[in-house]
Chains A and B, each alone.
Chain A
């Protein structure tokens, strides 16, 4: 990718056009990094070195903080849909076996009304995922461009003029310059970059693996499709090994932090909003049960078990006196 070091190849052809479109995002990214970097130097960190690495990490955190609210909203919507399930089934049963256009129409209308009244909608958006793609592309572009800005081969981009870019290009992490690529590195750098690629792929794999093990309903944990999914958990990390070899070290730092953040977020998601029927959901049920009992204990109320026992005892006593037969309702005597 980078054999001709005199020219910035990402500015050519279709990709050049696409990156031109994304310029506002790129500009914003450079500003965020530059501002955080200024803040760090203000605290007394050297302008060249770790401060730039921390700025990259800070950028990842900013991006994730922007996505998180959408993410949470989406999970809330999913939960609402689950809660609406009984009512939806009620409506669907009402129109069971009716295949004419008017009934179908009426059913869709009623379902829509139900969603609207409860502020839930089945058409969840894939916006968070759609955002992450271009954001990562911009990041890749900016971090790749810096090298060339520093050399004066490319026009300045946002907050990165030639001098700033030079500072950035001179920075290093674990003794490796952050513009180095695996292909053009010495042995020490190759080892460090290799470790970063391995960690990055590992976190990606771990996230998918954990998701599959913990957050899939037990019913779907078998069969052809499940095995396909299992194979897929290996495919993406392995694909990323090859692209990782071509990326500057700075991009790898961004990517590793990003994957760690993704992993933490999915851990949290599986803990708080597990898919119903999955092992994580079973654990959550036990946890919620314990929590409820603890709350009742503090409030001095009988625990869930005691309440159940009391109910069973009452039922038994009632059976003793009234017999096992359910009593038929009696008609009131007419006056």
Chain B
């Protein structure tokens, strides 16, 4: 399982370096889908994180609103709905724990 996670992370890094870097920035969401996927897989593992990333990709449609959409603190497939226990208001500043990871 660990190797699958590594492979996925490497694939996303490859995508960011070789494909995403060559196209103009055009995202409806923040963080971008690839960054979201990286974080989700890192936090929840390849299966649960992968599902979150897939759902995120499906959310990028012409008529979707976009905006800030972070990986939830606790895992839930329905964290986007306000009735969900995992629901979070969009944050204007990244959490301290996240910035440490990014640096």
Residues of A at the B interface (CB closer than 8 Å) are: 70, 73, 101-102, 105-106, 108-110, 112-113, 115-116, 119, 121-123, 125, 127
Contact = CB atoms under 8 A, between A and B. Distances in A.
Contacts of B59: none
Given A105-B94, A109-B92, A110-B92, A127 B62 contact: yes
Nearest to B103: A101
Contact of A113 (B26, B68, B99, B102): B68
7 contacts: A102-B94, A102-B99, A109-B30, A109-B91, A110-B92, A112-B68, A115-B66
Contacts of B90: 113, 116
B27 interface: yes
Nearest to A117: B67
Given A101-B102, A105-B102, A108-B30, A119 B65 contact: yes
B56 interface: no
B92 A123 contact: no
B28 interface: yes
Q: Is the interface of B mostly helix, strand, loop or mixed?
A: loop
A115 B67 contact: yes
Contacts of B62: 70, 125, 127
A73 to B, nearest CB: 8
Interface size class of B (residues with CB under 8 A): 10 to 19
Contacts of B102: 101, 105
A73 B92 CA distance: 28
B97 interface: no
> Which of B62, B90, B94, B99 has the largest number of chain A CB atoms within 10 A?
B62
B67 A116 contact: yes
A116 B68 contact: yes
Nearest to B70: A109
Contacts of A127: 62
